[in-house]
């Protein structure tokens, strides 16, 4: 069923004539539909003023439009536009009506996605990574518990340091029997920020590399939660190649992590890592998620 639509635009300054889309209206013979911005923060910043009047206008339109569908049966007349806009006419305008082949209900959804900017939900900093760490801890704890019932008594520690050639590095999980048996870093690639992801990847890579410079036999792993967007997918693929190249096992499967932890729990630790030269001063412990790059 063919339909028509118009964009609702906010123009705070007539002199500059800059406009921001704040809503869309679509209508056909069956009804009219209107969608406005989910968040008005961008409109507030755009106009540099309080936008409570825009929210009130949006609420008024949402109430009145379904009742006035008959007035839209023909063209979007100047009289109807003037009636809708009322006191906000000085800063809100409707674009000329355009035709479309699909029905209004389907059309308004696609127009909203195309013309109305909605910022992605902001996750609390570190939430995804903490979830990855907690999940890995539960998996390893269960695997080690099953091993302990057969006589071995390894422990799983959260946020413990492993010594590297140039300093200590906090790993999210460390398996030990009095001495470290293995270390695990956890990363969630669900994060939308590519810059933040790359920073975490670089920090983990540096920690893996430095620990293996001191003790090549130390088993290290990276537990990952897989990416949910194309940009994160690119970072994930490159990171997996880097981590594997540095001798770390990359896992995103619970069963694989449990098997790996079980093997490390039963691994005899007959010799410790070589000690650094006496004249080498230990550096302050740093997290595997820190931003310090490896030395050249």
The number of angstroms, rounded, from the C-alpha of 128 to the middle of its chain's C-alpha atoms is 8
Query: Which are the contacts of 207, defined by CB distance < 8 A and separation ≥ 6?
Result: 162, 164, 169, 171, 185, 286, 288
CA atoms lying within 13 Å on the CB side of residue 230? 0
CA 144 to CA 267: how far, in whole Å?
Answer: 12
- pTM (global) more than 0.75: no
86 to each of 31, 63, 70, 89, how far by Cα in Å? Answer: 23, 15, 20, 6
CA 187 to CA 209: how far, in whole Å?
Answer: 17
Is pLDDT larger for residue 294 or for residue 119?
119
Is pLDDT larger for residue 40 or for residue 204?
204
β pairing state of 20-28 and 3-10: antiparallel
Is pLDDT larger for residue 248 or for residue 28?
248
Mean pLDDT, the chain, rounded, equals 81
Report percent pLDDT > 70 for the chain. Answer: 79
Confidence at residue 244, expressed as pLDDT on a 0 to 100 scale = 95
Query: Which are the contacts of 294, defined by CB distance < 8 A and separation ≥ 6?
Result: 205, 206, 209, 210
Least confident of 78-82, 85-89, 248-252: 78-82
β pairing state of 168-176 and 31-36: unpaired
pLDDT at 16 over 90: no
Residues 168 and 282 sit within 8 Å (Cβ to Cβ): yes
- Helices (H) and strands (E) counted in the chain, each on its own, are 8, 11
Confidence at residue 282, expressed as pLDDT on a 0 to 100 scale = 45
CA 118 to CA 113: how far, in whole Å?
Answer: 9
CA 272 to CA 167: how far, in whole Å?
Answer: 16
pLDDT at 134 over 70: yes
pLDDT at 215 over 80: yes
Confidence at residue 70, expressed as pLDDT on a 0 to 100 scale = 59
CA 264 to CA 177: how far, in whole Å?
Answer: 10
Residue the block writes with tokens 């961008």: 42
């Amino acid at each position: 069923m063919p339909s028509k639509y118009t964009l609702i635009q906010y123009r705070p300054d007539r002199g500059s004539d800059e406009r921001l889309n704040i809503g869309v209206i679509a209508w056909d013979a069956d009804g009219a539909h209107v969608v406005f911005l989910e968040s008005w923060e961008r409109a507030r910043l755009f106009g540099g003023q309080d936008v409570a009047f825009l929210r009130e206008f949006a609420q008024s339109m949402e109430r009145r439009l379904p009742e006035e569908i008959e007035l839209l049966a023909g063209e979007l007349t100047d009289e109807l536009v003037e009636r809708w806009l009322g006191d906000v006419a000085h800063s809100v305008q409707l674009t000329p009506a355009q035709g479309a082949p699909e029905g209004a209900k389907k059309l308004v959804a696609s127009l909203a996605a195309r013309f109305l900017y909605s910022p992605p939900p902001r996750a609390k900093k570190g939430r995804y990574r903490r979830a990855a760490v907690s999940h890995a801890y539960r998996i390893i704890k269960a695997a080690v518990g099953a091993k302990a019932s057969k006589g071995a008594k390894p422990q799983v520690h959260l946020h413990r340091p492993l010594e590297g050639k140039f300093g200590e590095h906090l790993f999210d999980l460390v398996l030990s029997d009095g001495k470290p048996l293995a270390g695990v870093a956890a990363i969630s690639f669900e994060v939308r920020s590519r810059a933040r992801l790359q920073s975490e990847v670089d920090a983990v890579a540096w920690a893996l590399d430095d620990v293996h410079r001191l003790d090549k036999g130390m088993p290290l792993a990276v537990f990952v939660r897989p990416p949910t967007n194309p940009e994160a997918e690119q970072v994930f693929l490159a990171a997996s190649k880097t981590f594997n190249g540095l001798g770390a096992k990359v896992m995103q499967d619970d069963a694989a992590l449990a098997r790996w932890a079980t093997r490390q729990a039963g691994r005899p630790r007959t010799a410790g890592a070589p000690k650094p030269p006496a004249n080498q001063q230990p550096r302050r412990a740093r997290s595997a998620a820190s931003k310090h790059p490896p030395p050249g």
